[in-house]
Amino acid sequence: MGKERIQELIREAKEQMTRAYAPYSHFKVGAALLTKTGKIYTGCNIENAAYTPTNCAERTAFFKAVSEGEREFAAICIAGGMDGKITDYVAPCGVCRQVMTEFCSPEEFQIILAKSEEDYQIYTLKDLLPKGFGSENLTKGTGDF
């Protein structure tokens, strides 16, 4: 993926931060999900007073894309910070990593953690979830318990 495309994803993720609904944590996160065909789906975190119904930016983007029929993804960019100010890299939570595992190749799917268009890190899903549980676990024995 070229630098221009990465910067576009970073801009989209940062824009989504402005749409976040985070009245409880004040930690705003935006995500930009790139399909293998080049389409971008975006998401922001949406909090809830009951906490468990809260949805992360990454899952919001995935759920929007999947609801539109998308099933093949190349990359996601994530940006976030307290009160919408980016001070560090924001990695996806475990639940989001599990959702990514459902739809993405752990060896190929790229996760871009961004502080700015020039300051970002790229990981594969396998880097961030080395022992993930995927559909292949349901088709073969998983060992003794």
**Which residues have a catalytic role annotated?**
58
Smallest Cα–Cα separation from 24: which of 54, 49, 45, 57?
Answer: 49
Helix (H) or strand (E) holding 125: helix 125-128
Q: Quick check: 77 and 10 in contact, CB under 8 A?
A: yes
CA gap 112, 142 in Å, rounded: 31
Q: What share of the chain is helix, strand, coil (3-state, %, to 5)?
A: 30, 25, 45
